[in-house]
């Protein structure tokens, strides 16, 4: 213990805060003087102020060297602040980052595990090649650290390193360390290592064989599951879901272990457990299957008491599960009834689930639901009401009972009469029912009676599909409509302005009824459709009809086409194809389960390319900074800066006039990349998205062109300077 | 005004200012070794410094804040970031490296031209005297053109960081000069 006066002195020195000098040089100068102050507390205050400015979006990057000086301290808080600053500006000032390397390496050996962890985390977060060169020793050291807190961070850093520089990561051999971390005695480390490995596997499946690793570590995972935090559990459950059990005994064991987590308070854990269970459910005995199903359904029900956002996610996932196991939640229908204070998006999903989960053979349940939906149809939110009406039709078709259908029909007609605004949706629903109940003359007569009284010229039917259905109805039951010709002519008048569905429908109806219409109508419509419509489907259809009509035995052909009876529709609920369903079931509780779009198989090429672009962008910035410094310092030494970097693939554009050719090559590769990534994207998704991607690709190309011109001008302006310097 | 009060305050409580000392020199001259020789009195195995090391050490009742900056070509431009408030500069030269003596001289004179370093004292260590073929202090002095330096207290000391020779002598001289000038 030092003597009292010394302690007092030390205390005073540490707590002195110098009042900021009011200078006319501005805020930055003020901050700078604070940062280099001799009093630690003042320096710390200045760092805080700098970071405050940084978060406000002001550019305080010019203070980088001064802030960096404060990195050497024992104060964890101050260190953290400086790290925060370094991380934020590392990308714009890559060249200055190397000044911090030594500190990072030293900090990775600090006695304080917090600092060790912080240093390795920050180091791997800085996306600068220069830093990565020095990451080896600290990373290796922290991977073998005594403290699990440091180890669990280090294993994540391996994945980060892999993303930034795959070759380096493989060369360093840290992947072997990562695999060893799966055997760690700390569950957190195991979980993070799993997460890290699956990230790496997603980036490049050839490097590690994740499936084999999971297979050999299943027992470890099951053991670790009970001891780790919720997020770690989700990771481990995710890994377990990748694994296919060898036999029914093992599947049963996995299910038994995982079932306990269905009670977890975090819905993500619950959904992940559901995923694992569903994966193994197919393998176990039918006897125990029933018990597991009960547990599953109660778990899913329990998520319905979470906040609406989570309910929504749960509902989307339930919809997938229901398609595989339709009877899973039949008894729990009541839980999914819409509450008055549910947000709209939850309400809509609930209606969908309700219609799906009812047992079509249980007439009583169906009628209860029908009454419920009828209530919903009386509500005021238009989207909700239209979904409810759609639900009514779907329910009736799913149930299929004749009486039930006619009852639903009555409800729809009632609704139609009570409220004008529902005409669109009721029209669609009624037509759906008629398509289901083919040959039910009574229904058709009632429907046409009501619908034919509508004045067409008024803007009653707004939506495309409603108009389409109305026109279809006219074509289907022409005898039941009064003033059919006027109505149809009314539609034909607006033919060009209509949307594609209606256009197609008009076209079909006119062809069907051409014998009942004046001869010029058909000719007129066909001409309009072939000459004035941009929509390919409509045009092609018109051309085909025209061909048919101009064939020698056209009358017979047309009669055949028109009199064909469309099959009865059994189900209007949207379903997945079987392979999509299987894929989605393995992706429960992920984003793809919410969008109903399975993940793209294969390497995430596009993502990696993106990073490369970023890297290049940084490089350009780096060059800019370098040139600026070069001009300022007028110091040739600076140009040696890049010498030890020669092996990197990065384009050092505008380094010298003599290398202009190589820049052009670099730019060409950039250019190529633009097109290749867009084509990859195309393969990535369905066609309609492909069109958007094409645009994206074009934009990218344009950008590249811009870059090219920029760099060219840069080369011109800098060549002279640089040649002088050389 | 604030400065006046704070300096008053310092004297009143006898709180000593920390003296900022920079250790500079080409790469591989032995800067980091000298720093840790000063701090813990031992020879540590070093790797090339990318960035800087900073240590605080007490020497003769003075607090020294010693910054050892990396000497790589790529880092040298950033030395300037550290010049502010520097009481003294220790420039370390590898006495065996005759080829790069000219580079060292250029770096040294370039550095000394800086505005912020006009008042700081200069101590040159002609390091690695333990190795064969090392130039003597006077030879190094000649190579570095030290005689040209006017208006500055400077000194050159032959040293060997590995053996610990000459380091304390050099520092003693430096502290005396700095004390005179600063306090």
pLDDT in tens, A428-474: 888 888 888 877 788 888 888 877 777 665 566 778 888 888 888 88
Flag if B85 and A38 touch (Cβ within 8 Å).
yes
Output the CA torsion A387→A391→A397→A398 (10° steps).
Answer: 130
What number is the average pLDDT over the span A9-17?
76
What are A620's strand-pairing partners? none
A5-13: Cβ within 8 A, 24+ apart: A9/B13, A9/B14, A9/B15, A12/B13, A12/B15, A13/A39, A13/A40, A13/B15
Give Cα separations from A627 to A129, A648, A654 (angstroms).
Answer: 19, 19, 9
The pLDDT value recorded for residue A456 is 62
Give Cα separations from A178 to A119, A143, A406 (angstroms).
Answer: 19, 8, 65
The pLDDT value recorded for residue A7 is 82
Which of B6, B54, B75 has the CB atom closest to A72's CB atom?
A: B54
Burial B91-105 (b: 16+ CB within 10 A, else e): bbbbbebeebbeebb
The pLDDT value recorded for residue A436 is 86
Token pair belonging to A178: 């990562």
**Number of inter-chain CB pairs under 8 A, A vs B:** 72
What are B160's strand-pairing partners? B165
Is B136 marked as binding a ligand? no
Flag if B78 and A641 touch (Cβ within 8 Å).
no
Q: Are A691 and A601 in contact (CB under 8 A)?
A: no
**B interface test, pick of A36, A46, A637 with most B CB neighbours within 10 Å:** A637
Distance CA B169, CA A683 (A): 73
Output the CA torsion A596→A597→A598→A604 (10° steps).
Answer: -150
pLDDT tens by residue, B129-162: 998 888 999 999 988 888 888 888 899 999 998 8
Residue B5 lies in a domain: no
CATH number of B48's domain: 3.40.50.300
Is B142 marked as binding a ligand? no
pLDDT over 90 at A353, yes or no:
yes
Q: Are B161 and B155 in contact (CB under 8 A)?
A: no
Domain that holds residue B52: 14-181
Flag if A641 and B73 touch (Cβ within 8 Å).
yes
**Sign of the CA dihedral with A498 first, then A503, A506, and A510 last:** positive
Residue B120 lies in a domain: yes
Residue B155 lies in a domain: yes
Nearest Cα residue to A235 out of A206, A193, A181: A193
- CB contacts, 8 Å: B3 with chain A: 21
Is B49 marked as binding a ligand? yes
Nearest Cα residue to A433 out of A481, A370, A375, A484: A370
Residue B2 lies in a domain: no
Flag if A9 and B15 touch (Cβ within 8 Å).
yes
pLDDT over 70 at A491, yes or no:
yes
How many alpha carbons lie under 13 Å from residue A42 in its C-beta half-sphere? 19
Q: Are A405 and A396 in contact (CB under 8 A)?
A: yes
What number is the average pLDDT over the span A700-714?
50
- CB contacts, 8 Å: B53 with chain A: 72, 102, 106
How far is C-alpha B82 from the geometric centre of its chain's CA atoms? 13
At which residue do the structure tokens 């550290």 appear? Answer: B82
- Helices then strands (H, E): number in chain B? 5, 6
Residues 78-97 of A with CB under 8 A from B: 96
Flag if B74 and A101 touch (Cβ within 8 Å).
no
Flag if B78 and A13 touch (Cβ within 8 Å).
no
pLDDT over 80 at A153, yes or no:
yes
How crowded is residue A571: how many other Cβ atoms within 10 Å of its Cβ?
Answer: 12
Q: B82 touching A, CB under 8 A?
A: yes
Give A585-632 as a 3 state SS string: HHCCCCHHHHHCCCCCCCCCHHHHHHHHHHHHHHHHHHHHHHHHHHHH
Establish whether B72 is a catalytic residue: yes
Residue B8 lies in a domain: no
Residue B41 lies in a domain: yes
Which of B17, B73, B75 has the CB atom closest to A99's CB atom?
A: B75
pLDDT tens by residue, A320-340: 999 999 888 888 888 999 998
Residue B124 lies in a domain: yes
Residue of A nearest to B32 (CA): A102
User: Rounded to a whole number, what is the distance in Å from the CA of A660 to chain B's nearest CA?
Assistant: 23
Which band of pLDDT confidence, cut at 50, 70 and 90, is reported for residue A205? confident
Residue B9 lies in a domain: no
The pLDDT value recorded for residue A689 is 45
Is B128 marked as binding a ligand? yes
Residues 6+ apart with CB under 8 A from A511: A522, A545, A558, A561, A562
Is B24 marked as binding a ligand? no
Active-site residue, selected from the candidate residues B72, B113, B131, B182: B72
Flag if B52 and A134 touch (Cβ within 8 Å).
no
Quote the number of domains for chain B.
Answer: 1
Which helix (DSSP H) or strand (DSSP E) does residue B19 occupy? strand B19-25
Least confident of A231-235, A380-384, A621-625: A621-625
Mean pLDDT of chain B: 85
Distance CA A223, CA A554 (A): 75
């Amino acid at each position: 213990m030092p003597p009292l006066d010394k302690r007092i002195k030390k205390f005073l020195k540490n707590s002195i805060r110098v009042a900021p000098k009011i200078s006319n040089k501005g805020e930055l100068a003020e901050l700078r003087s604070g940062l280099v102050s001799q009093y630690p507390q003042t320096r710390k205050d200045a760092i805080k102020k700098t970071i405050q400015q940084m978060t406000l979006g002001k550019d305080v990057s010019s203070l980088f060297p001064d802030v960096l000086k404060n990195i050497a301290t024992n104060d964890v808080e101050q260190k953290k602040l400086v790290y925060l600053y370094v991380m934020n500006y590392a990308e714009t000032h890559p060249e200055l980052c190397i000044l911090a390397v030594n500190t990072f390496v030293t900090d990775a050996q600090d006695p304080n595990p917090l600092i060790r962890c912080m240093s390795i985390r920050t180091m791997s977060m800085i996306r600068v090649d220069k830093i990565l060169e020095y990451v080896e020793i600290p990373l290796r050291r922290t991977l073998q650290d005594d403290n699990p807190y440091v180890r669990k961070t280090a294993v994540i850093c391996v994945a980060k390193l892999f993303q930034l520089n795959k070759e380096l990561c493989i060369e360093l051999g840290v992947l072997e360390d990562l695999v060893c971390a799966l055997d760690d005695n700390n569950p957190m480390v195991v979980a993070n290592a799993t997460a890290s490995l699956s990230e790496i596997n997603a980036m490049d499946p050839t490097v590690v064989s994740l499936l084999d690793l999971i297979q050999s570590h299943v027992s470890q995972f099951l053991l670790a599951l009970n001891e780790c935090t919720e997020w770690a559990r989700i990771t481990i459950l995710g890994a377990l879901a990748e694994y296919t059990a060898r036999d029914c005994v093992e599947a049963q064991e996995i299910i038994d272990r995982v079932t306990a987590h269905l009670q977890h308070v975090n819905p993500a854990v619950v959904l992940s457990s559901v995923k694992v269970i569903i994966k193994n459910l197919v393998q176990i005995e039918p006897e125990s299957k029933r018990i597991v199903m009960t547990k599953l359904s109660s778990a899913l029900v329990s998520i319905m008491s979470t906040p609406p956002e989570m309910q929504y996610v749960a509902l989307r996932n339930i919809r997938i599960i229901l398609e595989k196991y339709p009877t899973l939640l039949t008894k729990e229908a009541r839980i999914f009834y819409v509450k008055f204070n549910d947000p709209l998006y939850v309400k809509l999903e609930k209606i969908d689930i309700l219609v799906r989960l009812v047992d079509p053979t249980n007439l009583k349940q169906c009628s209860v639901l029908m009454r419920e939906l009828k209530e919903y149809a009386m509500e005021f939110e238009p989207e909700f009401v239209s979904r409810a009406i759609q639900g009514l039709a779907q329910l009736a078709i799913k149930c299929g009972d004749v009486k039930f259908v006619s009852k639903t029909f009555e409800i729809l007609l009632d609704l139609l009469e009570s409220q004008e605004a529902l005409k669109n949706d009721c029209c669609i629903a009624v037509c759906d029912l008629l398509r289901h109940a083919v040959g039910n003359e009574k229904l058709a007569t009632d429907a046409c009676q009501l619908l034919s009284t509508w004045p067409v010229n008024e803007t009653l039917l707004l939506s495309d599909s409603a108009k389409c259905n109305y026109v279809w109805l006219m074509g289907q039951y022409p005898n039941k409509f009064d003033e059919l010709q006027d109505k149809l002519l009314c539609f034909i008048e607006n033919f060009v302005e209509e949307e594609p569905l209606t256009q197609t429908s008009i076209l079909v109806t006119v062809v069907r009824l051409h014998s009942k219409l004046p001869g010029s109508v058909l000719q007129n419509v066909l001409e309009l459709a072939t000459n004035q419509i941009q929509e390919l489907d409509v045009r092609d259809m018109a051309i085909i009809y025209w061909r048919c009509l101009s064939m020698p035995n056209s009358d017979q052909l047309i009669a055949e086409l028109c009199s064909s009876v469309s099959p009865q529709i059994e189900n209007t609920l949207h379903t997945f194809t079987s392979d999509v369903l299987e894929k989605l079931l393995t992706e429960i509780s992920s984003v793809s389960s919410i969008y109903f779009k399975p993940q793209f198989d294969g390497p995430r090429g596009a993502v990696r390319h993106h990073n490369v672009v970023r890297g290049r962008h940084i490089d350009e910035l780096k060059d800019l900074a370098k040139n600026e410094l070069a001009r300022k310092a007028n110091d040739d030494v600076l140009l040696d800066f890049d010498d030890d970097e020669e092996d990197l693939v990065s384009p050092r554009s505008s380094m010298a006039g003599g290398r202009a050719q190589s820049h052009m090559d670099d730019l060409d590769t950039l250019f190529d990349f633009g097109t290749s990534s867009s084509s990859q994207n195309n393969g990535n998704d369905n066609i309609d998205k492909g069109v958007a991607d094409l645009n994206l690709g074009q934009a990218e190309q344009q950008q590249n062109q811009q870059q090219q011109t920029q760099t060219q001008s840069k080369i011109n302006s800098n060549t002279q300077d640089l040649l002088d310097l050389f | 005004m604030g400065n006046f009060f704070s300096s008053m305050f310092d004297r009143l409580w006898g709180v000593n200012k920390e003296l900022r000392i920079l250790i500079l020199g080409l790469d591989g001259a032995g800067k980091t070794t000298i720093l840790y020789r000063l701090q813990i009195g031992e020879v540590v195995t070093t790797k090339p410094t990318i960035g800087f090391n900073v240590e605080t050490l007490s020497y003769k009742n003075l607090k020294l804040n010693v910054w050892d900056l990396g000497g790589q070509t790529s880092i040298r431009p950033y030395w300037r970031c550290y010049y502010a408030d520097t009481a003294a500069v220790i420039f370390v030269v590898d006495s065996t490296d005759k080829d790069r003596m000219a580079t060292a001289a250029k770096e040294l004179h370039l550095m000394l031209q800086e505005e912020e370093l006009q008042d700081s004292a200069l101590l040159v260590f002609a390091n690695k005297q333990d190795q064969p073929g090392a130039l003597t202090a006077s030879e190094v002095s000649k190579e570095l053109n030290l005689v040209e330096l006017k208006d500055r207290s400077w000194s050159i000391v032959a040293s060997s960081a590995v053996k610990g020779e000459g380091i304390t002598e050099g520092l003693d001289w430096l502290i005396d000069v700095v004390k005179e000038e600063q306090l």
